[in-house]
Structure 1
Amino acid sequence: MLHINDLTYRIEGRPLFEKATLAIYAGSKVGLVGRNGTGKSTLFRLIKGEISPDDGEINLRKNMRLGAVDQEVPSGPQSLIATVLAADTERADLLAEAETATDPLRIAYIHTRLGDIDAYSAEARAASILNGLGFDAEDQLKPCADFSGGWRMRVALAAMLFAQPDMLLLDEPTNYLDVEGAVWLEAHIRKYPGTALIVSHDRDFLNEAVTHIAHLREGRLYSYTGGYDAFERQLAEQNRLNMALMAKQEDERRHLEAFVTRFRYSASKAKQAQSRVKKLEKMQPVATIISDPIAPIVLEGPDRPLSPPIIRFNNVDLGYGELTVLRRIDQRIDEDDRIGLLGKNGEGKSTFAKAIMGEIDPLNDGHIKRHKKLRIGYFAQHQIDALNPVASAYDHIVELMPDATEAQRRARLAGFGLGVKNAETPAGDLSGGEKARLLFSLIGFHKPHLLVLDEPANHLDIDSRAELIKSLNAYEGAVLIISHDRNLLESVVDRLWLVNKGSVTSYDGSLEEYRIMQLEKDKTDKGSDEKSVNSRKQSRQDRAKALKSIAPFKKKADALEAKLDKAQIELALIDKALTVTDLFTKNPDEAVKLGQDRVRLEKMIEGLEADWLTALEAYERERDAADL
């Protein structure tokens, strides 16, 4: 489907890719991961042919249709449903021709072809995709111009999915989605008939949606089987084995150096000592996977906690002018609360956050009581956009610390990963992740009692998200988070509130239960049959029975995945051993054996991967049939 061979690409002389190689096979779903700035978006541009490599090649299957969401999102008077339907250009052209065609044979061909491409159910399919991405039936008839940029990005995504290209290229597709949309998308991608290459930093999405991980590091591409958790396990095991090999090599090096030191000047041992010197010079170091340190995100809590509650909503209606979005809110936030706010975009999560910040007042006679000493740190996309684009990160800190020394200001920035190089860069030229780190530095400066975070992880890579989780767990204050990143929510919050149908209520289930609920709701919205249950007990029994029925399929898939992981690690070790200088001249028998073992392992991996994909498809088919 897609083969990248010895790809080399440089930006201003700096190599971004250095002989990178990757193969993506038909039907696979590949998550492309790596630190911000390593070149993931550039790789997409290379695949689409927008730029050319300096060396190497990218081979796509002949006549393959690529699908990617353009930066220019739909914004005209056309309705959402019409915009999505227009994305299938073959259908649109055939329907237009059917209106004017007169030749009976041509008319017959047109209607046969329309049937082949399932054109007559197209409107239902388009509506289903739009519904999954958060647009109800009424929304679908509205013009694109009625919606904000974030919602129009969803329309563009819906149009691409509807067109069903042979290969999807998705760059951070969940950034404009809520939890509900992300859950729908991961299920849709998993069942998508084509191939997908997806850049994402959403750990749960990568675990649920993809079959492989492509890790971009140090200019190379490395392929791993399974989701993100499986990739991390393989990476850790590979590094552990490499470290063991390195320790063994260092032990040998010490013995050689000791012999040389002892006998260098001995007449009887001079030749042996010299041979060991040559061996030391030719000894290749074992390549370990370098873990670049992640700059911290230091969020200091208040010096003293406030008496609870720090915020109290009493019978509050919220909205704008004549429009009431939320009604009769009765909630409180205490000084040590960790709250995750769930609910579809447009239901009122941001409205509720603005009320906490004091940006909007109650519409009725209800009231919001805040502790008089309360300090709040607010992180939201519009806060990032409000950064002065011509002022540097250092300039922003000067405003907060006018009496501090330059060293103190720079230490503050360094504590958030903004060192000498990017501290002087205008905010408008910083990357999304660097802007996010600058905003974290600004909102945490006054040691707030409460952090209100609206999609705080959107611009952070997976490692930086882990650092944010670590920081929030160490932060001694209250936290309220709106995020589609379930891993972030699961790692930080201990309470869930649901914004739904004009209310803000406590949700007693887990995030996994909420995910399952959304998938079941999606099936209901599509009109699929659901098993009726008489009680919670009966439902649990049905679920337990279903899980038991699919357990053998899961066990088989897991066992094959484990064998595949082990074989790939063995192959990596053989490849490393084959790079030893003069191996074929000094130890030809060992070289031949390693080569034979490599061929055997490659064939084994190919067979295991095919068996694993078949077993995985069988497991997912049984899981879907069991409504799990």
Structure 2
Amino acid sequence: MLSITDLSIRLAGRLLIDQSSVQITPGSRVGMVGRNGTGKSTLFKVIRGELAAEHGTVTLPPRWRIGSLAQEAPNGPESLISVVLKADLERDALLHEAESATDPHRIAEIQTRLVDIDAHSAPARAAAILSGLGFSAADQLRPCAEFSGGWRMRVALAATLFAAPDLLLLDEPTNYLDLEGTLWLEDHLAHYPRTVIVISHDRDLLESSVDQILHLERGKLTLYKGSYSAFEEQRAARELLDAKAIKRQEAERARLQAFVDRFKAKASKARQAQSRVKMLERLKPITALVTEDVREISFPAPEKILSPPIIAVDNASVGYDPATPVLNRVTLRIDNDDRIALLGANGNGKSTLVKLLAGRLAPFSGKVTRADKLSIAYFAQHQLDELNEDASAYDHVRKLMGDAPEAKVRARAGAIGFSGKAADTKAGKLSGGEKARLLLGLATFFGPNMIILDEPTNHLDIDSRAALAEAINEFPGAVIMVSHDRYLIEACADRLWIVVDRTVTNYDGDLDEYRRLVLSTRNAEPGPRERSATAEKPQRPKSDNRGSLKKRIAEAEAEIARVSDIIAKIDTALALPDIFTRDPKQAAQLSKARANAADALARAEEQWLEASSQFDEAAG
């Protein structure tokens, strides 16, 4: 059991958690929620032992392994599958020792333990996790260094999940994922066999993947049973009960105070009056649940509603190299009140499509027609880094308003969520959510006809995401969304487009159907998509494919040699004359290990034959 007892955490002089206690039983799947900046990530650091608490204790069962997402993405020449396999430290150490062990008894112990931890099925398990997170079979053999930072963070997540720690701590894991990866992760966490605590603002993940909610508010930790919707119901009921209790207490205080005021001057009633004073002192005020107001998000309406369609694309191809376009044969139209969400895995061309719609990429062929005076606002997460860190929200707004009076500039800064002193806070000191709010306000400043939102929710908490959904629904213009947040899509989108197979088509199903499609696809053999640090490049030419096949052949040959060596060592151990009489259990486990190794050898030989055959075909 994870026991948090009378815990207080202070950071930079600010009390984040104040004398809180909670117990989490083994096997629980817990979603941790709370406003940004309340101390959720700091609590994780205390649990991991990276930060000392001011008071109280965090107690874990002995020998529990804690796993969490690495702060830095893996990099270097190792293949993705190798990086993930090395996350199981015990398996990795045992395999290294098995290569040099010569004592038959130690060989027997090593192979027995490898059987116990199911080591021979590890490559298949690692490959399944990488596939679920969007890496094809070919991707998994490529070096980490070939991938962008976002994709390498997915590898770090895959390694953490593969290690299957006793306590899994995940802090906003969906920030690195697309919708398809998020759907797979929801399913994976829902079946995680050990204890997991996940900090998330994703309603659907909290609804489908966890069975308890740990809420951090005003320095207090409260554990609720059930999913996120059950938490909301329980919290609303608690607010109602607290309100009634406060009302009853106020009435009781008024009654006691009235008695004291009436009789305190009378000698015959002095003792009773003094008794009521003591009762008043003992009547501790009930602390009501205070719901912090969420600053609304609003988008200025366009000055003029344009005649439809505002954008029409006819048989266009687009990309970064005319010889190998990312998207082909794209035909679509957008009307002035459309709400469209783009589906499709990262790397399929969603960002390329929105750049085409925004006019940031010209088509290689085909035609794009835009309405006269069409104004488009474009928001993308990477633009957060483009804010001037030394300039305040007021400074950013002032740049857009020229010589406008001070009062008008401050009023406009307040309208996008930065009133009073907040308007003078430098961007470098703003939280991720505050930066996102500022950038949304700046992008839509002049009342666009169409807004393009590329992953707008990454730094927004649950309430701010709800405010964003409300703003989208109230905006009279068109909205195009790329988001991994299923709640936002379901709340706002009335059309779904899927970007796959180098084109864009209308998707007639709903997100539940799409979820089933994604899970069935990612639990099957992955397709031949390629990823690279310069995202959305086309598939490699045949010469590169032959190089990949050659690498697969070499790796299969190395695996055949490694497993053959293991089998030889097991045979040596089984050849000991007294093994079956001295330790029949160990002998049985060694026999099982040999059978597993023989299966692994057969699989490696099949992979070698398949890769060799494909290589010969490519060469021919």
When normalised by structure 2's length, the TM-score is 0.82
Contact map agreement 1:296 1:415 (CA 8 A) in 2: no
The residue type equivalent to 2:69 in the other structure is V
Could you tell which deviates more after superposition, 430-439 or 508-517? 508-517
Aligned pairs for 1:213-292 (under 5 A) are 213-259=213-259, 275-292=275-292
Instruction: Name 2:144's counterpart in structure 1.
Output: 144
Say which SS state the counterpart of residue 476 (structure 1) adopts. Answer: coil
Instruction: Name 2:182's counterpart in structure 1.
Output: 182
Contact map agreement 1:212 1:223 (CA 8 A) in 2: yes
Instruction: Name 1:582's counterpart in structure 2.
Output: none
Contact map agreement 2:137 2:526 (CA 8 A) in 1: no
Instruction: Name 2:406's counterpart in structure 1.
Output: 406
Aligned-pair distance for 1:276?
4.2
Say which SS state the counterpart of residue 331 (structure 1) adopts. Answer: strand
Aligned-pair distance for 1:275?
4.7
Aligned pairs for 1:81-480 (under 5 A) are 81-259=81-259, 275-321=275-321, 322-364=323-365, 366-480=366-480
Could you tell which deviates more after superposition, 510-519 or 409-418? 409-418
Say which SS state the counterpart of residue 27 (structure 1) adopts. Answer: coil
Aligned-pair distance for 1:469?
1.3
For the residues of structure 2 that align with 1:399 and 1:103, how far apart are their CA atoms?
75
Q: 1:523 to 1:147 in 2, by over 3 A?
A: closer
Contact map agreement 1:46 1:52 (CA 8 A) in 2: yes
For the residues of structure 1 that align with 2:19 and 2:417, how far apart are their CA atoms?
30
For the residues of structure 2 that align with 1:18 and 1:181, how far apart are their CA atoms?
36
For the residues of structure 1 that align with 2:415 and 2:61, how far apart are their CA atoms?
47
For the residues of structure 1 that align with 2:210 and 2:228, how far apart are their CA atoms?
8
For the residues of structure 1 that align with 2:245 and 2:192, how far apart are their CA atoms?
42
The residue type equivalent to 1:327 in the other structure is N
Aligned-pair distance for 1:352?
0.6
The residue type equivalent to 2:517 in the other structure is M
Structure 1: unaligned runs, 5 residues or longer: 528-628
Contact map agreement 2:6 2:21 (CA 8 A) in 1: yes
Deviations 1:62-81 (A, max 9, x none): 12111111111111111111
Contact map agreement 1:178 1:484 (CA 8 A) in 2: yes
The residue type equivalent to 1:301 in the other structure is A
Deviations 1:305-347 (A, max 9, x none): 1110111111011111133111111111111001111111111
Aligned-pair distance for 1:273?
5.3
For the residues of structure 1 that align with 2:239 and 2:226, how far apart are their CA atoms?
18
Aligned-pair distance for 1:11?
2.2
Contact map agreement 1:8 1:54 (CA 8 A) in 2: yes
Deviations 1:565-586 (A, max 9, x none): xxxxxxxxxxxxxxxxxxxxxx
Q: Does 1:27 align with 2:41?
A: no
Aligned pairs for 1:20-99 (under 5 A) are 20-99=20-99
For the residues of structure 1 that align with 2:12 and 2:128, how far apart are their CA atoms?
46
Aligned-pair distance for 1:260?
5.2
User: How many residue pairs align between the two structures?
Assistant: 526
Instruction: Name 1:614's counterpart in structure 2.
Output: none
Instruction: Name 2:495's counterpart in structure 1.
Output: 495
When normalised by structure 1's length, the TM-score is 0.81
Say which SS state the counterpart of residue 175 (structure 1) adopts. Answer: helix
Say which SS state the counterpart of residue 302 (structure 2) adopts. Answer: coil
Aligned-pair distance for 1:360?
0.7
Contact map agreement 2:384 2:436 (CA 8 A) in 1: yes
Contact map agreement 1:412 1:441 (CA 8 A) in 2: no
For the residues of structure 2 that align with 1:41 and 1:234, how far apart are their CA atoms?
24
Larger Cα Rg: Structure 1 or Structure 2? 2
Higher relative contact order (CA 8 A, sep 6+): 2
Aligned-pair distance for 1:472?
1.4
For the residues of structure 2 that align with 1:89 and 1:64, how far apart are their CA atoms?
14
Identity over aligned pairs, percent: 55
Instruction: Name 1:604's counterpart in structure 2.
Output: none
Structure 2: unaligned runs, 5 residues or longer: 528-620
For the residues of structure 2 that align with 1:45 and 1:410, how far apart are their CA atoms?
39
Contact map agreement 1:300 1:476 (CA 8 A) in 2: no
Aligned-pair distance for 1:270?
6.2
The residue type equivalent to 2:12 in the other structure is E
Q: 1:269 to 1:304 in 2, by over 3 A?
A: farther
Could you tell which deviates more after superposition, 389-398 or 339-348? 389-398
Deviations 1:365-409 (A, max 9, x none): x01111121111111012212112222222111101222232322
Instruction: Name 2:541's counterpart in structure 1.
Output: none
Root-mean-square deviation over aligned CA pairs: 1.9
Contact map agreement 1:340 1:497 (CA 8 A) in 2: yes
Contact map agreement 1:436 1:459 (CA 8 A) in 2: yes
Aligned-pair distance for 1:424?
2.5
For the residues of structure 2 that align with 1:7 and 1:404, how far apart are their CA atoms?
51
Could you tell which deviates more after superposition, 115-124 or 417-426? 417-426
Contact map agreement 1:172 1:199 (CA 8 A) in 2: yes
